[in-house]
A and B are shown apart, each in its own frame.
Chain A
Amino acid sequence: MEKNKFIETLKPRFKELKFSLYLLNRNWLTKVSFYIVILLILLATFSQAISPFPGHIMDEANVSQKLLPPTSTNIYGTDELGRDIFSRVLYGTRVSLTTAILSVGLALLIGIPLGAIAGTLGGWIDEVIMRITDVFLSFPPLLLAIALVSILGPGLGNAMIAIALSWWPWYTRLVRGQAISLKERKFVQAAEAIGTPTWKIIFRHIVPNTVSPVIVQASMDMGGVILTVASLSFLGLGAQPPIPEWGLMISTSRNYFPDAWWYSIFPGLAIFITVLVFNLLGDGLREILDPKTRKN
């Protein structure tokens, strides 16, 4: 019985999804970004297989070949230890994407439950949680992450934690807003009426229904998170050598700038393009999902 009901609720969702895909198809800029994002994910997954010099990613060095300009063997040139920059930039895709996804994932893990609780329960719990989010949101974004990493020590893992701790308030706010309007919906009131315990209401009914706008928001945030990861690494607080993280490569490249200009260009270009397509995709998604656009 429940299963059929579940499938019933899915049907209109499918219809909406199809409509979204139709809109996506019409906006060519968004479509292109979507394909590039898929490409990036593929590159990230298969980077080691595709790299011309997989060893150079972390395990080997070739110091006598250091700081060579782009040639046919090393299309992005070599770095200060003679490693192939192209292979490292390619692998950097994996580093950036994984870090970003994990950071956002962690932020969601913290933010969604808090928001659902705040929105559903209301009252003083809501007030307290909201004040806490206000406090966190008052910190200049990177500064909080920097302070946190200073305590935890530099490293990608700690950077992820720091970013998650800076980002969760946005999701809490979003989910809370959703929860408040969901509270009034018939199926929630029905569940309350039959005496479902509150925690079940929150986690079985409210949370699943907030997930889609949150996921959309999270994917729109990916660009920003990737940039934050790069900035932290640039400041020396994120990835540590020899990890080929883009921000770290740019900060290392400063020592050799502007002679070894290629060392700064390509990782920076990688950051820019990646963040750009994620942002374009996110922006396109927002327009597609905007009820006003759908009405037209």
Chain B
Amino acid sequence: MGKYVIRRILLGLIVLLGVVTITFVIARMIPSDPAAKWVGPRATPQQIEEAKIELGLNDPLPVQFANYVIDLTQGNLGRSLRTHQPVVEDLKAYIPPTLELVLLAFLMAIILGIPLGIYSAKMKDKFLDHASRLFSIGAVSLPTFWVALFFQLIFYRMLGMFPLGGRISAETTILYEIPRVTGLLIFDSMITGNWVILKDALWHIILPCITIALYPIGLVARMTRSALLEVLNEDYITAARSYGLKEKFVLWRYALKNTLGSTAIVLTLSLGYTLVNTFLVETIFSWPGLGNYVATSVVTLDYPSIMGVTIFSAATYILLNLIADIIIAMDPRIRL
């Protein structure tokens, strides 16, 4: 076991290095002049030359790469060409809002997806199964940016029930001190007992959260259904049933427990896709998170930011995969 873990970790690091290399190569191939961007839109050639030296752009590529990797190990992701701030600082500011959205969406996925999956499994091939299968696959087929616009249309414009965007209203920001413990507004306001902010934050997060949650809900439902179906066909279930144990009991104690592992893993692996959806949706809801940051960086070709976010996401993904693999290795009963 130990050997396996160490081997996996080493593998993870190698992959990370590969990611960094490719990101670096891609970033350097982007046809635009970082020095010009650093100095500003109406720069003089002289200002650009000086910026080139300051940014180390005249060094040979391998040297630049080496410097970048060394900086990485110290936690330095470079400076954004657009904001002139360290990328790490930018990330620190923009990650919590996105994290909040994603976590809440996953929570919804579990709360709504699992029951849906269970129903589908129980009513296999009957109408309800087809309907829920349609729903799950439908949820996965929706273009999220389209859904986001629609929710805005219906819930803000027509019904006036929820706010248009943003994380918290301007007034609340001015009148109250925002608690800053983890950066997750909902959590922070709950633990500091600030109910006004909590209410405001919840009210703002609902629409974007539901938009993003659709995909994981669909995924979890389908996963739960197929995992449950597989488990229900297993011998020990048949055995339990033949012992006269009630169906409900069988479902809960035996079947469900074994599917939860797969569900957790499938959610983790869906992180990549969910993150991407979050990016698309954040611009529409003016949500000040990573997605918005990436969207602006992409549009302005701010390659240190793009690299920073890519490496961060890839690193997170590799880490989560690592954890997932280790869990599977520890418990061979968990299957995908």
Contact = CB atoms under 8 A, between A and B. Distances in A.
Whether chain A touches chain B in the assembled complex (some CB pair under 8 Å): yes
Contacts of A231: 143, 145, 276, 280
Given A138-B317, A271-B146, A276 B141 contact: yes
A165 to B, nearest CB: 10
- What bracket does the count of chain B residues touching chain A fall in? 35 or more
Contact of B15 (A131, A151, A223, A272): A131
A39 to B, nearest CB: 17
Nearest to B134: A29
A138 B319 CA distance: 10
B241 interface: no
Main secondary structure on chain A at its contact with chain B?
A: helix
Interface stretch (A12-20, A53-61, A104-112, A140-148): A140-148
**Interface-central residue, A140, A143, A280, by most chain B CB under 10 Å:** A140
B49 to A, nearest CB: 25
A146 B298 contact: yes
Nearest to B321: A138
Nearest to B298: A146
A247 B31 CA distance: 25
A140 B143 contact: no
B167 interface: no
Interface stretch (B19-27, B57-65, B187-195, B327-335): B19-27
Contacts of A258: 152-153, 157
Contacts of A276: 137-138, 141
Contacts, number: 120
B178 interface: no
Interface in B269-294: 272-273, 275-276, 279-280, 294
A235 B141 contact: no
Interface residues of A, number: 43
A123 to B, nearest CB: 17
B313 A140 contact: yes
A264 interface: yes
A131 B273 CA distance: 21
Contacts of B95: none
B17 to A, nearest CB: 9
Interface string B18-57: 1100110011011100000000000000000000000000
B141 A140 contact: no
B257 interface: no
B142 A141 contact: no
A29 B157 CA distance: 36
Contacts of A148: 26
B141 A150 contact: no
A230 B309 CA distance: 23
B247 to A, nearest CB: 21
Interface in A122-152: 131-132, 134-136, 138-144, 146-148, 150-151
Contacts of B279: 142
B183 to A, nearest CB: 21
A280 B136 CA distance: 10
Interface in A57-77: none
Contacts of A275: 141-143
Given A147-B23, A258-B157, A247 B143 contact: yes
B201 to A, nearest CB: 26
Given A131-B14, A135-B22, A250-B145, 8 more contacts: A131-B18, A140-B275, A140-B276, A231-B276, A236-B299, A250-B146, A250-B149, A292-B233
Nearest 3 CB-CB pairs, A to B? A135-B18, A268-B146, A275-B141
Interface of A: 28-29, 131-132, 134-136, 138-144, 146-148, 150-151, 153, 223, 227, 230-231, 234-236, 247, 250, 254, 257-258, 261, 264, 268, 271-272, 275-276, 279-280, 283, 292
13 contacts: A131-B14, A132-B18, A136-B22, A140-B317, A142-B276, A146-B298, A147-B27, A148-B26, A150-B30, A150-B306, A151-B30, A271-B143, A279-B140
